[in-house]
Amino acid sequence: MSTRSRNMPRPVRPWRRAMAVAAVLAATGTVLAAAPQPAQAALPPQTIADPVHYWNDVLLEVIRREGGGPGPMSRSAAMLNLAMYDAESSYQLKWKGKITSEPYIHAEKYAGWLEGPDEEERVVGRTAYNVLLGLYPGQTQYLDARFRERFGSEPTGFDLLDATVVSKMVTQMRDARNGDRSDNDQVYVGDNKPGAWRPTSYPDMADPGCSRDSQAVSPFWGQVKPFALTSGSQFRPPTPGLYGTYEKLLASDEYKRQVEAVRSAGADKPTTRTPVINRTADQEAAAWFWANDEDGTYKPPGQLLQATREVATQRRLNTYENARLFALVSTAMADAGIAVRDVKFLTPIDLWRPVSAIREGGLDPEWKPLLKTRAGVNVTPCFPAWASGHATFGAAWAGVMKRYFGSDNIAFTMTTDDPQSPVKSRSFTSFSQAAREDADSRIWLGVHFPWDAEDGLTLGDRIANHVYTTKLRRL
């Protein structure tokens, strides 16, 4: 909740004020192109030069503050970056005479005779601020502070660009996502049979947030309207659903191999029945590097947005190039979040987690996954195993990056927010290498089976290819 006093009148935000101004101008026949703009103060000194990078940094901090699941976070990232991209495209169309890639919704060749000071920054930044304000009203105080830091003025101050372009960019994005089923609060009811996911609140793995079926995280996110796909099920992978029933799945030799693989690679500590852990020190470091499971971190989508920034900075992209790259990456990850929830909850098999398979399958009642909370309590995510969200997000990200840059073999270094990671950065020689390690890390943490990772990687890359070939295409 915002800390603004309930007794204080809520200020009119720029995009709402702009809509009112535009309506008056239209009703009176005033020509916006001829309307003089008030003098704009120079921007304060900037430590982050590019507005796309700045506002994505703001989003990552909001994610740390808000917590929650990766699906809603990736939706927010897509809304933010697609709106900034259309706003930047509008600026390019107005003052550079053309755009080199198609807009997501619409680029506005807005009114105005002369380009105002820092106009590109203002068009992009004011759009970003208003989109984030609509998504996270409880972060109003923080967002206002970041606006002042960037512009040196109050976010409620008037700017003619709000009337000519910003309000249109904000409104068209909000209209596009209204009724997208992201607010579905339907309660999940599990299948309640061996092999089916169930709450994992074991006495020695106490997790009060996962003791009932109804506490499953985002069970119907797979029904959210995608940003590029035709539906969340468009690229649904076949396994392990190809077995058709839990009984056939559990009786298969492949299932037994899957369980044994994670049992030896993902255990927290050796036990009487699992005396050997088949995991190297570097794999364990990688497992924690990619985790970012707890609130207070930028979560998996945020880590990949940060990696996008590292690569974009290294490749010296300009603002228009950054806007398109971040929009493509965010669109792919948003649809990945939807598609992987479709697989987890809306297919015939809602697969239980490895800890349930190992303990309730009678293999080792003392087995625990490596994944722990900051307090040192072993834990496993509160939703089905198949397919892996980390793998799907990672492959969707890598798929866009290698297509955007025309090569997979680009070396880069990225960071982590996970407080338990023994290292804060890791270096890779390709995008696919990073995605593969991201996928495998969930096996090493003991929370996924190998086929969760494999199917997630395939699903993510198919989504990336669809996004890249159908949205924001080069003109």
276-300 tens-digit pLDDT: 999 999 999 999 999 999 999 999 9
Q: Confirm if 355 and 205 have CB atoms less than 8 A apart.
A: yes
Instruction: Give CA–CA dist 466/399, Å, rounded.
Output: 10
* CA distances for 442 relative to 197, 248, 282, 380, 433, angstroms: 17, 25, 14, 10, 15
Residue 46: its pLDDT value, please? 83
Q: Is 67 left (phi over 0), alpha (psi -120 to 50) or beta?
A: left
Q: Is the peptide bond before 281 cis (omega within 30 degrees of 0)?
A: no
Instruction: Give CA–CA dist 327/437, Å, rounded.
Output: 24
Residue 456: its pLDDT value, please? 98
Residue 26: its pLDDT value, please? 42
Residue 29: its pLDDT value, please? 39
Question: Which neighbouring-strand residues pair with 412?
Answer: 428
Q: What angle do CA 400, 236, 432 make, to 5 degrees?
A: 30
Tokens 């228009």 appear where? 320
Catalogue the long-range contacts made by 303-306 (C-beta closer than 8 Å, 24 or more residues apart): 303/414, 303/415, 303/416, 303/417, 304/329, 304/333, 304/393, 304/394, 304/397, 305/56, 305/59, 305/60, 305/77, 305/329, 305/330, 306/60, 306/414, 306/415
Residue among 449, 351, 380 at smallest CA distance from 204: 380
Q: Pick out the chain residues at pLDDT < 70.
A: 1-41
Encoding tokens for residue 164? Answer: 């000519």
Tens-digit pLDDT profile for residues 84-123: 999 999 999 999 999 999 999 999 999 999 999 999 999 9
Q: Confirm if 169 and 124 have CB atoms less than 8 A apart.
A: no
Q: Confirm if 459 and 392 have CB atoms less than 8 A apart.
A: yes
